[in-house]
A and B are shown apart, each in its own frame.
Chain A
Amino acid sequence: MTNIETIIQRHAGDPTRLLDMLRDVQAARGCVDRVSRAALAKALRMSEADVEGIVSFYHFFSRTPAGRYAVYLNTNVIAWMNGRAAVARAFEREAGVRFGRTAPDGLIGLFQTSCIGMNDQEPSAVINGVVFTRLTEAKVKDIVAGMRAGRPAAELVGELGDGANQHALVRAMVANNIRAAGPVVFGPHEPGRGLRKAVGLTPEAVIAEVKASNLLGRGGAGFPTGLKWDFCRREKGDRHYVVCNADEGEPGTFKDRVILTERPGLLFEGMAVAGYAVGAAEGILYLRAEYAYLKPYLESVLDGLRREGLLGKGAAGKAGFDFDIVIKLGAGAYICGEESALIESAEGKRGEPRDRPPFPVQVGYLNEPTIVNNVETLCCAARIMAEGAAWFKSMGTAKSAGTKLLSVSGDCERPGVYEVAFGLTVRQLLDMAGAPGAAAVQVGGPSGSCIGPDGFKRAICFGDLPTGGSIMIFGPERDLLEVVRGFMEFFVEESCGWCVPCRAGNVLLLRKLEKVLDGKGNARDLEELVAWGAVVKTTSRCGLGQTSANPILTTLANFRGLYEARLRSGADADAVLDFDLAAAMEASCRAAGRPIPSPEAHHG
């Protein structure tokens, strides 16, 4: 019990820091058990049922022991394409336990997890917060041997990655894979230049400059950043907040990981610029749990900025501008990338989206006016202040100014991060990445769209193919419908479950898709996929459900032949096969202890 009390005190008994407490409990006890939940509930004056609700919402918390080494192996389709199946088998063989379980001796637990932001170096896993990339059977053997020898996970990493991945506070085997360094995010930047220029202007002038730059949100939705800041600044509140959304969870994106590794100073400068513009004293970096390995390093960067006077009291030499940044960690939930869910999570609750209106700029973190901006957006803002709106607008297209970071993975020679000017065609990108024979490209992650060669002439920009940056390439040998199945499984797992269409509808869409993939579908099933997809899209409460049918709907539109090839033909093609008689017979016979009839017997 004292242990739990210490943890609660470490976080000042502050309910908004419940996730931090749970994280510490999980690390100390291997799970958040009943005793811990009761102690937390008592200290925070919540019900135990409520605490359990929060624990059970997040993937990286468990109520039963997850093992002294908890292995979370990425399930992203790109991982499967890169040999995940063999790696998973190796883990099961070496650890002596199946996925979803913890070994009886409590040493190793094996679990699946959604995309961890390492698509350019799959298969990958997070073990006790340490990232392992480019896994092979041989590497798994060594890792498990190290676990059996009792070595800490951090000591088991292989060759370290490049750049700051080698920093003493990071020491990660993650590679940056920066393939094209553009002028905005990866261009030369004198630290503090953007912020110093900003504080020399009025906040209104800073907002005007960002508006003039035409900067649109880089998370994918493309809302005008200057307008968001303006709305927030105009709201009355006791305090305003700047939140950076570093919860990039859209499968296939990892560009924020690279920014956080190589340009954290620029990001924090952008947050300070935003803070000055909206009148905030506090910034929050909401960092996804998968990137927790970067936290000590990011804290050291923040310390450095404080020493240089760019953060803290009178930041950048501006009297009265007291701005500082805290880092809050997530705990494994894709939905927390949705801005209002992120705010709920940052407040220590279940990461469930809020109803809009009111919008976060009106009622955000702790019910105060809050801007939530993407990592890349804030970097752009700092650079716009340093170099001017005109400079920024000189790049990209008329409607999509500046550059975009793309996370490219899949069947290509050079997976990694590309900073390109908006307006680049998919074909040009494929040439850069070394994927001349691509058969399909998933633009914008599963919630975006899947296009075939007909669409490769299209341009990556807000007017044509908008994207948060996830680009997954599939060669002609890939079974695209299996990819679709993987994406639907992802949405089913990551739905928060709040609203009916997303919680129940996505399961029904997945089952229907599986029916077609199993060769039991007919033309009517395809019609129903479209109709049911429309219900989920139209009636869902947030962006997750409003886009989760896209993998099915966009492939039905662009690759209909793949589906039609799986449909039943012949005299009984119109029959509706929603009941599997053979399976039902088998189950009944097993239960009754009778011999299981052969399939032919059903036709008698």
Chain B
Amino acid sequence: MAEIKLTIDGKPCTARPGQTILEAAKASGIYIPALCHYEGLKPSGSCRICTVKVNGRPAAACTQPVAEGLVVETATPELEDMRRALVEMLFVEGNHFCPSCEKSGNCELQALAYRFGMLVPRFPYQWSVREIESVSPRLLMEHNRCIQCRRCVEAIRTPDGRRVFAAQERSGRLRIGVDPELAAGLDEDTARKAMAICPVGAILYKEVGFAVPIGRRKYDRSPIGSDIETK
């Protein structure tokens, strides 16, 4: 199929038809920060951190398909500030205490905050009251840290397609509910996959924690996105 030509921050890029702007950027060594996106999963477009301007109009890079001649802006001061604002919104919406979190160093929300140089959120903390739920013999759900990105909703299903995790309620009350019966039936691999796919420390595998000490984890070694940029 014919290659599609577009520019990202003035840099000429090529893409395949059907690719998203995020994928095309990645292939060209340009990192567009994203949080809810997970390779291989249908993008949910929920975090909006990958918002770019396409021909001057805002769009989520993870859901927007490439097209011939698109002019994409991503690393502008305006967009970078908005991304940081979205990360800050998540920090004040939930209750995120990094030092005591099993996911610290592997957490994508924390890694983005570091990358964006966030010291303190511009927004007041909401101190929302959320619970910790023991959802199955293998899994804990730490709702305080859940950012409702929907990766687990999309990825963790029973062999016959039923959702183990499901979005419930709406507005600020939105929460990811867990089906107790189906969660109890998860095998070890799927339960571990659920924890791994969670970008934060909301889905936790019980029993063993901190097997790799904080300081030697993924984003402790190199900032999020650096693997794409050094290509």
Q: What residue in chain B is nearest A507 (Cβ atoms)?
A: B172
CB <8 Å contact, A45 and B168: no
Bound Cα distance from A52 to B162, whole angstroms: 13
Which single residue of chain B is at the shortest CB-CB distance from A494? Answer: B171
Asked whether, in the complex, the Cβ of B163 is within 8 Å of the Cβ of A497, the reply is no
CA distance A352 to B168 in the complex (A): 12
Query: Is A541 a contact partner of B58 (Cβ separation < 8 A)?
Result: no
- Do A497 and B169 touch (CB < 8 A)? yes
Q: Is B126 part of the contact surface with A, judged by Cβ < 8 Å?
A: yes
Q: Which residues of B contact A492 (CB under 8 A)?
A: 171-172
Choose from B60, B158, B167, B177 the contact partner of A355 (Cβ within 8 Å). Answer: B60
Say yes or no for B29: interface residue by CB 8 A criterion. no
Chain B window 10-35, contacts with chain A (Cβ cutoff 8 Å), 1 for yes, 0 for no: 00000000000000000000000000
Majority secondary structure, A binding face? helix
**Interface 0/1 of B169-180, CB less than 8 Å to A:** 111111001110
Question: Of A115-123, A174-182, A532-540, which binds chain B?
Answer: A532-540
CB-based contact A48/B92 at 8 Å: no
Complex contact B85–A535 (CB within 8 A): yes
Q: Is B47 interfacial (CB-CB < 8 Å)?
A: yes
Given the known inter-chain contacts A49-B182, A355-B63, A503-B148, please indicate yes or no for A497 contacting B171, CB distance below 8 A.
yes
Q: B179–A47 contact, CB under 8 A?
A: yes
Q: Which of B48, B63, B147, B169 has the most CB of A within 10 A?
A: B48
Bitwise interface map of B from 66 to 82 toward A, beta carbon under 8 Å scored 1, else 0: 00000000000000001
Are A48 and B179 neighbours in the complex by a CB distance under 8 Å? yes
- Interface positions, chain A 469-527, Cβ under 8 Å from B, are 492-501, 503-505, 507-508, 511
* Across-interface contacts of A352 in B (CB, < 8 A): 167
Q: Assuming A532-B85, A538-B82, is B164 touching A497 (CB within 8 A)? A: no
**Which listed residue (B126, B160, B166, B169) contacts A45, Cβ 8 A?**
B160
The answer to whether B82 and A499 have CB atoms under 8 Å apart is no
B93 within 8 A of A: yes
Name the B residues within 8 Å of A578 (CB-CB): 124
Interface members, chain A 338-363 (any B CB < 8 Å): 350, 352, 355, 357
Q: Does A333 touch B at the CB level, under 8 Å?
A: yes
* CB <8 Å contact, A535 and B124: no
A425 to B84, CA, bound (A): 42
On chain A, the residues within 8 Å of B114 by CB distance are none
Instruction: Kindly list chain B residues whose C-beta atoms are within 8 Å of the C-beta of A495.
Output: 170-172
**How far apart sit A53 and B167, CA to CA, in the bound complex (Å)?**
6
Does B97 reach chain A (CB closer than 8 Å)? no
Interfacial chain B residues near A308, Cβ < 8 Å: none
Residue of A56, A335, A539, A541 most packed against chain B (CB within 10 A): A539
Knowing A49-B163, A508-B92, A539-B58, say if A56 contacts B45 (CB, 8 Å).
no
A to B CB contacts below 8 Å, 23 in the list: A45-B161, A45-B162, A49-B178, A50-B163, A53-B168, A57-B168, A355-B45, A357-B65, A494-B171, A497-B170, A497-B173, A500-B47, A500-B49, A500-B89, A500-B90, A501-B86, A503-B171, A507-B93, A507-B172, A508-B123, A528-B122, A532-B123, A538-B82
Chain A residues proximal to chain B, CB less than 8 Å: 45-50, 52-53, 56-57, 333, 335, 350, 352, 355, 357, 492-501, 503-505, 507-508, 511, 528, 532, 534-535, 538-541, 578
B residues with CB within 8 A of A:
43-49, 51, 58, 60, 63, 65, 82, 85-86, 89-90, 92-93, 122-124, 126, 147-148, 158, 160-174, 177-179, 181-182
